[in-house]
Amino acid sequence: MKAYDFAILGGGAAGLSLALAFARSPLKDRSILIVEKDAKDSNDRTWCFWTDELSPYEAIARHVWPRLRFRSPGLDRTWDLAPFRYVLLRGLDFYNFARAELRKQPVTFVRAAGEVEDGEEHARVLVDGGEFRAAWAFDSRIRPSDVVPRPPYNYLKQHFLGWEVETANPVFDPQVVTLFDLRTPQRGGITFFYVLPFSPRRALVEYTLFSPELLPGEEYQAALGGHLAEIGAGAYRILEAERGVIPMSDHPLPRRLGRRVLAIGTRGGRVKPSTGYAFARIQRDSARIVDSLIRLDHPFGFPPDPLRFRLHDSILLELLGSEPDLGRPVFEAIFARNPVQRVLKFLDNRSAPLEDLAVMSSYAPWPFLRAIGRRFFGKAQG
């Protein structure tokens, strides 16, 4: 049985980010096994995140926006993001970049569906026709059985269809990303267009909802077509399409899956429940895991997410789930009454308590108090 220092199950965002973090650390000589069931040879998603630091992925960023726009019936505002920038990576560029970097290291890739078994001294990784051993295993596989809905937790979905389009008319500003364009009917949850322009005639435009149920496929298409007509895009060609469903839930996802196994990525609760963003959190998590291994010789030595951020997520999810019509006015108030940098820090669990208070008090307190009542003292109080 071949033995490794680290085994990583799943070579997606979390698995490859962790392997890259090992490769860039004093642990770079440790042997790594990466078990991934798919070829990962297509652009299965794009990742966006905001950052005030140079990311290790500068070289493969497809586009970086210095300005951000928010649009709703009552507010149309564009801000300079500095010191932040909004970055887009294509999934395929990330997979290719990561694998090329990791091939220079003692990393073995196995293309197979894997299972992991915990043990006292090591974890066992089982793949069809093979078995490996690792001192530590990191598991990013998530199955429906990991999240069986139960009260009092909230379960929304961020679901969207994105089209990368080339338009006849120059209707986009490649300096400005539109994070929310809420000037569209709200359909049982916050509903908006998210516009990522690459040039005046080319952009990724996504129709996105935060709600419990998906729409029939043609409704996303109709909404995108209607939006392009409304902004005067003229004739357009669809170059690529991206569909996605991201879980938005405060359902607890344990990090430690055994004596030798740590959950990472979505499986390890790295998707921020109230926003669906995970990529930047995955990078920070990878750094914490490496740091723990260096300091303590095990990967579990970091604190859980601060309680106040978990509370914010639960309250916001409860509000968006139970009073979906309030999503738009609440977001409008948050963006109208706070500097955009404060909002971005808040949405990324990096704000100070007073900044949280400022953001949370942007709107009347009653919906938040009702959400707290329902979430923490029983649904009947709603």
Smallest distance from ligand FAD to CB 330, Å? 21
Q: Residue holding tokens 């709703």?
A: 72
Residue 287 or 372 having the CB closest to ligand FAD: 287
DSSP H/E element including 18: helix 13-23
| Interaction between residue 262 and ligand FAD (CB under 6 A) | no
| Interaction between residue 367 and ligand FAD (CB under 6 A) | no
Stretch that binds ligand FAD, among 4-12, 50-58, 131-139, 342-350 (CB under 6 A): 4-12
Q: Which of residues 235-254 bind ligand FAD (CB under 6 A)?
A: 242, 244, 246
| Interaction between residue 375 and ligand FAD (CB under 6 A) | no
| Interaction between residue 265 and ligand FAD (CB under 6 A) | yes
Residue 163 or 368 having the CB closest to ligand FAD: 163
Contacts with 348 (C-beta within 8 Å, 6 or more apart), sequence order: 50, 272, 277, 280, 281
Strand partners, 86: 50, 65
What is the distance, to the nearest Å, from the Cα of residue 320 to the centroid of all Cα atoms in its chain? 18
Strands 46-51 and 85-90: antiparallel
| Interaction between residue 19 and ligand FAD (CB under 6 A) | no
* Nearest-10 Cα torsion for 325, 348, 275, 93: 150
Around 88, how many Cα atoms within 13 Å sit in the side-chain half-sphere? 21
What is the distance, to the nearest Å, from the Cα of residue 209 to the centroid of all Cα atoms in its chain? 15
| Interaction between residue 207 and ligand FAD (CB under 6 A) | no
Contacts with 177 (C-beta within 8 Å, 6 or more apart), sequence order: 48, 65, 67, 68, 69, 86, 195, 196, 197
Residue 265 or 321 having the CB closest to ligand FAD: 265
- Letters for 269-308 (x = contact with ligand FAD by CB under 6 A, - = none) are --x----xxxx-----------------------------
DSSP H/E element including 159: strand 155-167
Strands 130-139 and 176-181: unpaired
Q: Which of residues 152-181 bind ligand FAD (CB under 6 A)?
A: none
Nearest residue (beta carbon) to ligand FAD: 12
Around 142, how many Cα atoms within 13 Å sit in the side-chain half-sphere? 22
Residue 310 or 337 having the CB closest to ligand FAD: 310
Smallest distance from ligand FAD to CB 10, Å? 3
| Interaction between residue 196 and ligand FAD (CB under 6 A) | no
- Letters for 129-148 (x = contact with ligand FAD by CB under 6 A, - = none) are -----------xx-------
Q: Which of residues 107-126 bind ligand FAD (CB under 6 A)?
A: 113-114
Token pair for residue 301? 């030595």
Cβ atoms 353, 312 nearer than 8 A? no
| Interaction between residue 11 and ligand FAD (CB under 6 A) | yes
Distances (CA, A) of 261 to 81, 226, 304: 39, 48, 16
| Interaction between residue 9 and ligand FAD (CB under 6 A) | yes
Of 7, 21, 48, 261, which one interacts with ligand FAD (CB under 6 A)?
48
Interatomic CA distance for residues 287 and 302, integer angstroms: 11
Residue 285 or 371 having the CB closest to ligand FAD: 285
| Interaction between residue 37 and ligand FAD (CB under 6 A) | yes
Smallest distance from ligand FAD to CB 357, Å? 25
Smallest distance from ligand FAD to CB 204, Å? 10
Strand partners, 65: 86
User: How is the beta sheet containing 85-90 ordered, strand by strand?
Assistant: 46-51, 85-90, 61-65
DSSP character at residue 380: G
List contacts with ligand FAD (CB under 6 A): 9-15, 35-38, 45-49, 113-114, 140-141, 242, 244, 246, 265-266, 271, 276-279
